């Protein structure tokens, strides 16, 4: 069984993670400004998924939501929020992510690559039971604050369109890494979801 030792302090490399997030967002904006002007798309997607980790026998299920704005039908800065539960140490996992996603085209399908920086909370279920709101807001006891990176490959497949609205199914595989010893160093998993685009 792995240790439940926790801390309420954010990792010392948090500033570096923020700098990377800003750089990714700046890259997306640069791509948008150097190409000819074209309307963008607001994006909203919800997904459910599962993941394993570098801890033996560890597994987690989660739900998530993604918000983004796609420029030039090619690139989008995005935000992802996830909430899940992992069996080892009976811990709750909350993750916030900022990143950039790039699409290609294969018939009607849109394969993509995304890269992001994340801040994740891992906390024992007992802490959530004792102070649910504190745990949700990241100020409860026993929370392990972790900063890391995530990369993913996936595909969006549109199946319905009406005027400016488009509905699509999405599937992806991802890998997450953390440069600390507060929990698993690596997670890997996948998601299935539905998304909605609105063309401006």
The three-state DSSP-derived secondary structure of 142-176 is CCEEEEEEEEEEEEEEEEEEECCEEEEEEEEEEEE
Residue 30: per-residue pLDDT: 54
107: CB partners within 8 A, 6+ apart: none
- In tens digits, what is the pLDDT along the chain, a chain of 200 residues? 454 444 444 444 656 665 665 665 555 555 444 444 457 999 999 999 999 999 999 999 999 999 999 999 999 999 999 999 999 999 999 999 999 999 999 999 999 999 999 999 999 898 888 887 877 777 777 889 999 999 999 999 999 999 999 999 999 999 999 999 999 999 999 999 999 999 99
Residue 13: per-residue pLDDT: 60
Taking the CA atoms of residue 52, residue 127, residue 47 and residue 178 in that order, the dihedral angle to the nearest 10 degrees is: -50
The second-level CATH assignment, the architecture, of 41-199 is Beta Barrel (2.40)
Instruction: Judge whether 96 and 84 are in contact, CB under 8 Å.
Output: no
Residue 129: per-residue pLDDT: 84
Residue 25: per-residue pLDDT: 55
36: CB partners within 8 A, 6+ apart: none
DSSP string, 72-98: TTTEEEEEEEEEEEETGGGEEEEEEEE
CB atoms within 10 A of CB 177: 15
Residue 16: per-residue pLDDT: 62
Going by C-alpha positions, the residue among 85, 63, 84, 56 that lies closest to residue 185 is 56
Cα–Cα distance measured from residue 3 to residue 182, given in angstroms and rounded to the nearest whole number: 9
Instruction: Judge whether 198 and 42 are in contact, CB under 8 Å.
Output: yes
């Amino acid at each position: 069984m792995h240790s439940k030792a926790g801390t309420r302090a954010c990792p010392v490399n948090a500033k570096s993670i923020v700098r990377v997030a800003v750089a990714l967002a700046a890259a997306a904006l640069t791509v948008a400004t150097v190409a000819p002007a074209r309307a963008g798309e607001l994006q909203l997607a919800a997904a459910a998924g599962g993941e394993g980790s570098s801890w033996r026998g560890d597994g987690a299920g989660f739900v998530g939501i993604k918000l983004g704005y796609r420029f030039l039908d090619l690139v989008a800065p995005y935000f992802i929020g996830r909430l899940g539960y992992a069996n080892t140490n009976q811990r709750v996992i909350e993750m916030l992510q900022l990143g950039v996603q790039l699409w290609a085209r294969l018939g009607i399908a849109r394969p993509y690559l995304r890269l992001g920086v994340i801040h994740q909370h891992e906390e024992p279920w007992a802490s959530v039971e004792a102070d649910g709101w504190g745990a949700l807001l990241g100020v409860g006891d026993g929370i392990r604050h972790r900063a890391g990176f995530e990369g993913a490959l996936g595909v969006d497949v549109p199946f319905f369109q009406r005027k400016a609205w488009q509905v699509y199914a999405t599937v992806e595989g991802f890998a997450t890494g953390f440069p600390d010893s507060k929990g698993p160093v690596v997670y890997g998993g996948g998601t299935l979801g539905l998304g909605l685009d609105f063309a401006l």
